[in-house]
Amino acid sequence: MSERMNPLEQKIAGKIRKEGPITFETFMDMALYEPDLGYYASEDIEIGRAGDFYTSQHLHSVFGLMLGKQLEEMWETMGRPSDFHAIEPGAGAALMAMDILTYLKDRDIFSSCRYVIVEPRSFMQEKQKKLLGNYSGKVEWVNSLKDLGSKRGCILSNELLDAFPVHLVDMEDELREIYVALEDHNFRETEGALSTAALGDYLREFSIDLPRGYRTEINLRIKNWIESAGEVLSEGFILTIDYGYPAQDYYSEERNRGTLLCYHKHRVSEDVYLNIGEQDITAHVNFSSLRKWGEELGFKTLGFCQQGIYLMSLGIDEVIKDLYTDSHDYLFEVAKIKRLIFPGTLGETHKVMVQYKGNGDPKLRGFGMKNQKDRL
């Protein structure tokens, strides 16, 4: 880093000068979410082809359509309640919401469904409201899950949990935490004692035995997230799509440097101290933590598998046939859709997990081909 710091770097540096080295979790939180300055808190954020990365909903509208089919199945499973809420935190540009609503508008569920976007940033709300203008009477906005009260329905997210700030730890003679210090106008890492006993508890909870020299991340905020979801949902589903692994794969020997990645103008790097406030920082999701903490709150794990297998099982091939067989753009459309489902694409890297609070043990079509929940 040069001596000329941007305003966010100056703010982080000021915090370190005042308080001493900060946890990496605090650094990542500020880099991504510091009001007006962090990557996600800046009005300059652009996701998609022109931005730093793209997600499944940027690839093709059929992704949202398939999630609409999933919401419809969930509604049917719950006995067609007259008050079904589809709640999406981290909706970004609201493309997924748009595609879901476009599918649902011609279905029986539409009159019962209310779409709720959880979005604390007013500038993003304005962008979303502009896109969803045709559905203004069907969509509402809240600043946080806590503003919702008790609801029935589904909380769905795509690439949300990977952006939660994580602690960085390193196993030496004992478990140590990575802190961020300041040295001659440069941020540098330093090791120290654990900032919270919860980090050691986490490794014991998931039976993780790290060898010497192993460095990785621990995401404690997922627990707060699912607790908030549990307070909102009196009955219904949590649908999580993200990249990640079961605990035994996440903390395997070959992943001994962790999973932190940065995205800047569609380029991937591992240097979190470059382009601070101008690049995305992510860590993979330990889906075993989502399962265990969810079950402690009364959520049953219904399914877990790769996104591609899930979409195929849910019937994406039928949808392609119905929509595009007679289209002159058939090959072009299918080429884009393949990147949602094929190995070596988002179809393999991204996993789908559904948890359920309510009576019975519903069987969802999306996990009919290959349900790997027992690996969690």
Closest of 109, 67, 75, 147 to residue 314, by C-alpha: 67
For the chain, what is the domain count?
Answer: 1
Distance between CA atoms of residues 338 and 106, nearest Å: 26
Count of beta carbons in the 10 Å neighbourhood of residue 255: 15
Which run of H or E residues covers position 176?
strand 175-183
Residue 181 lies in a domain: no
Contact 277, 6 (CB under 8 A): yes
Residues 6+ apart with CB under 8 A from 160: 89, 90, 240, 242
Residue 203 lies in a domain: no
CATH code for the domain of 95: 3.40.50.12710
pLDDT in tens, 222-273: 999 999 999 999 999 999 999 999 999 999 999 999 999 999 887 899 999 9
pLDDT band with cut points at 50, 70 and 90 for residue 370:
very high
pLDDT in tens, 302-337: 999 999 999 999 999 988 888 777 777 888 888 888
Distance between CA atoms of residues 260 and 244, nearest Å: 11
Measure Cα distances from 7 to 17, 34, 36, 38, 196 in Å. Answer: 15, 11, 10, 10, 29
Angle at 223 between CA 313 and CA 346, to 5 degrees: 35
Q: Does residue 17 surpass a pLDDT of 60?
A: yes
pLDDT for the residue numbered 52: 52
Residue 175 lies in a domain: no
Q: How far is CA 196 from the centre of its chain?
A: 24
What is the residue range of 159's domain? 56-164+221-375
Closest of 177, 178, 175 to residue 209, by C-alpha: 175
Residue 212 lies in a domain: no
Residue 202 lies in a domain: no
Residue 169 lies in a domain: no
Residue 13 lies in a domain: no
Q: What is the pTM of this model?
A: 0.94
Residue 8 lies in a domain: no
